[in-house]
Structures are given as structure tokens and as C-alpha cells.
């Protein structure tokens, strides 16, 4: 069974993952409004991934005979200064989530909760990929600069992203 402290922390992470999904959906809406369907597609897939992460935490708590306690999801921005600003925000957000995951791992180690530690290792690895993926787009957008042609090419590329 989960300790009360671990259960509370995992429930907090469910909320963080749902907030991430909500944020990426807002980013998708921003790109849809800017007529960049490839960027919007990338963000929709990201939102679905985050929802999947929330459900992994949900199921883990249930499997450990814990209690899932859902909290309200906070508001997210609707506007950004540019496509680059959106992806810089996404990268910063993923870095924040990485910190949250590391905090959960530290708690699992502190509590000698080997099952939670094992479960969380998937998320440690996933966050490396999440940060690298957002960072790659940030760097491509920096290279594109003010080129509308480059932005449209990148839009097509991001539109080809497949769900995992």
C-alpha cells in the first residue's frame, strides 16, 4: 500500500499531468487560430500523451489500493507572442515537470517505496525524451527566424508526427 505522503504526492502529479494536457490543448488552439495545422497537430498529440501520463498515475494509485483524489485544473494561457514563444514555454514546462518527477523519485527513495520508485523510472526516461523533443523544435524555430517559408516547412514536418 501507499503511504499517505506518497499517495498525496502522486495525486498532485495527476493534477500536474492534467494541467499539462490542458496547456498543450491551449497551445493547439493557438496554432489552429494562426492557421498552422501541423503545429496544432503536434500539440494535440502532446496533450493526449499528457492525459495518458495522468491515467498511468491514476491506475498506479488504484493498483496500490490508494485513493485517487482529483483536484481542479488551473487556468492556462491562451496567447503567446510567437510560435517560438509557445515552444519555449513548452520546453520550460517540461523542465518543470522533470523536477516534479525527480521529487517523486526522491520521496519514493526516502520512503523506501521500491514499487513507486520502479514505476517512476519510466517517467524519468520519458522526461528526457519530452525535453529533447520540445528543445529540437525551439532550435528549429530559432533557425527559421522570420522566414514564413521555413515556418510553413516546419509546420508540415510537425504535422507528420505520429502518436506513440
Q: Are 101 and 52 in contact (CB under 8 A)?
A: no
Q: Are 22 and 73 in contact (CB under 8 A)?
A: yes
Residue 131 and residue 46: Cα distance in Å, rounded? 12
Q: Are 31 and 87 in contact (CB under 8 A)?
A: no
- Kindly state which CATH superfamily the domain 4-159 is placed in: Ferritin, core subunit, four-helix bundle (1.20.1260.10)
Q: Are 163 and 48 in contact (CB under 8 A)?
A: yes
Q: Which three cell numbers stand for residue 59?
A: 491506475
Q: Is the dihedral of CA 155, 141, 143, 92 positive or negative?
A: negative
Please tell me what DSSP assigns to residue 69: -
Residues 6 or more apart whose Cβ sits within 8 Å of residue 31 = 37, 39, 40, 43, 83, 86
Please tell me what DSSP assigns to residue 67: -
Residue 104 and residue 117: Cα distance in Å, rounded? 8
Q: What is the structure's pLDDT at 1?
A: 86
Task: Give the predicted TM-score (pTM) of the model.
Answer: 0.95
Residue 8 and residue 66: Cα distance in Å, rounded? 10
Domain ranges of the chain: 4-159
Q: What is the structure's pLDDT at 72?
A: 97
Residue 44 and residue 116: Cα distance in Å, rounded? 29
* pLDDT values of the chain reduced to their tens digit, one per residue, 164 residues: 899 999 999 999 999 999 999 999 999 999 999 999 999 999 999 999 999 999 999 999 999 999 999 999 999 999 999 999 999 999 999 999 999 999 999 999 999 999 999 999 999 999 999 999 999 999 999 999 989 999 999 999 999 999 88
Amino acid at each position: 500500500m501507499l503511504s499517505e505522503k506518497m499517495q498525496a504526492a502522486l495525486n498532485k502529479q495527476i493534477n500536474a499531468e492534467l494541467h499539462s494536457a490542458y496547456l498543450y490543448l491551449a497551445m493547439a488552439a493557438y496554432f489552429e487560430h494562426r492557421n498552422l495545422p501541423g503545429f496544432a497537430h503536434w500539440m494535440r498529440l502532446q496533450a493526449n500523451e499528457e492525459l495518458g501520463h495522468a491515467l498511468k498515475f491514476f491506475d498506479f494509485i488504484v493498483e496500490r489500493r490508494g485513493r485517487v483524489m482529483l483536484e481542479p485544473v488551473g487556468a492556462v494561457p491562451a496567447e503567446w507572442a510567437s510560435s517560438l514563444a509557445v515552444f519555449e514555454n513548452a520546453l520550460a514546462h517540461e523542465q518543470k515537470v522533470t523536477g516534479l518527477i525527480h521529487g517523486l523519485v526522491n520521496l519514493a527513495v526516502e520512503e523506501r517505496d521500491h514499487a513507486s520508485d520502479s514505476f517512476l523510472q519510466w517517467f524519468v526516461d520519458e522526461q528526457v525524451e519530452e525535453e529533447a523533443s520540445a528543445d529540437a523544435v525551439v532550435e528549429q524555430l530559432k533557425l527559421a527566424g522570420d522566414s514564413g517559408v521555413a515556418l510553413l516547412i516546419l509546420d508540415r514536418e510537425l504535422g507528420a508526427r505520429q502518436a506513440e
